């Protein structure tokens, strides 16, 4: 079972002004069903995914279900430099009930499709990385049948684990690939920041079998910026749309301690920001999410602030 919870205005707090200098003053809280069908192309819709059942099934540290509100609380106090015509809507949260992750993913998919029908740009707040399967299917349901969505995942992990024993936070892209094999769509997947110490041999073999493109963490840094940009541009050129997903556990724990699978060996924010700009400039991105925010293990809201900063960066550039 899953439920849709309407947004909570009380989460959006921070410094106050009479000029909407801060994002909490810019954000409007609204039920998805009450969004005007005439929303402009500059309307961004925030939607939470309060679920860590997939993390628990994947033997990770639970706590990511509290991730969406942790991100919102940090985002609200950030500066607002958006123009007056732009809108940010907090559209509430999909909540997983009784560990029914599949129901939460299905409901998430429906709401994402609805947001796209209303001409908004969805930014989803997780929640485990199982958010990706629901998000992707919502995008897929909306686009033209002859079009292709390319997935760009910032992550240390492929998340291509077999779901033979059930779905979890490590299986979303395997599930998407299996759906593609069944003829539902094409599977185009680029993973940035892959670490050999975070994926076993069979996962690399699976990636090769599915023709996954990837850059290892040693290649994904500012020293190799030109090559990283070219890899992203080449990938984008081969698809019609881009779905971007950022797994916070891909970052070094120096930047992101509050995640389900922390490691000091991850990447840094600077290369992610440069990569996001390359994606945004393509004008092909139709959805984005941030996954694995786990406030239970955060320090001084450091990870939540990182997630909020990434969102703030995107808000001011799309």
Q: Which residues are annotated as a binding site?
A: 129, 155, 157, 159, 247, 249
Give the residue numbers of the binding site for Mn(2+). Answer: 129, 155, 157, 159, 247, 249
Which among 114, 172, 162 is positioned nearest to 141, based on CA atoms? 114
CA distance 33 to 45: 12
Residue 1 contacts residue 53 (beta carbons within 8 Å): no
Burial of 183 from C-beta contacts in 10 A (0-12 / 13-18 / 19+): exposed
Which among 248, 235, 158 is positioned nearest to 194, based on CA atoms? 158
Q: Report the SS3 class of residue 144.
A: coil
Count of C-beta atoms within a 10 Å radius of residue 66: 18
Which positions ≥6 away from 138 have C-beta within 8 Å? 108, 109, 110, 111, 112, 113, 115, 116, 122, 287
């Amino acid at each position: 079972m899953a439920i849709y919870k309407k947004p909570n205005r009380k989460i959006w707090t921070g410094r106050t002004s009479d000029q909407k200098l801060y994002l909490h003053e810019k954000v409007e809280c609204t039920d998805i069903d009450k969004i005007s069908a005439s929303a402009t192309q500059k309307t961004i819709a925030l939607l939470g995914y309060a679920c860590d059942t997939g993390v628990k099934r994947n033997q990770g540290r639970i706590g990511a279900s509290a991730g969406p509100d942790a991100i919102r609380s940090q985002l609200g106090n950030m500066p607002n430099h958006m123009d007056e015509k732009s809108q940010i809507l907090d559209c509430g949260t999909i909540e997983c009930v009784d560990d029914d992750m599949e129901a939460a993913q299905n409901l998430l998919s429906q709401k994402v499709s609805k947001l796209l029908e209303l001409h908004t740009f969805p930014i989803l707040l997780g929640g485990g990385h199982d958010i990706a399967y629901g998000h992707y299917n919502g995008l897929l349901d909306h686009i033209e049948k002859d079009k292709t969505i390319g997935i760009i995942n910032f992550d240390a992990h492929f998340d291509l684990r077999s779901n033979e024993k059930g779905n979890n936070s490590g299986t979303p892209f395997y599930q998407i690939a299996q759906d593609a094999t069944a003829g539902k769509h094409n599977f185009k997947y680029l993973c940035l920041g892959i670490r050999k110490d975070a994926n076993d041999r069979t996962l690399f073999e699976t990636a090769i079998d599915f023709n996954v493109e990837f850059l290892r963490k040693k290649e994904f840094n500012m020293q190799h910026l030109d090559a990283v940009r070219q890899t992203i541009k080449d990938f984008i050129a081969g698809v019609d749309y881009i779905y971007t997903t950022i797994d916070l556990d891909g970052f070094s724990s120096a930047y992101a301690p509050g995640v389900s699978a922390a490691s000091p060996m991850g990447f840094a924010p600077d290369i992610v920001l440069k990569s996001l700009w390359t994606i945004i400039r393509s004008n092909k991105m139709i959805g984005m999410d941030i996954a694995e925010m786990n406030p239970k293990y955060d320090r001084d809201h450091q990870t939540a602030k990182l997630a909020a900063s990434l969102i703030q960066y995107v808000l001011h550039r799309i």
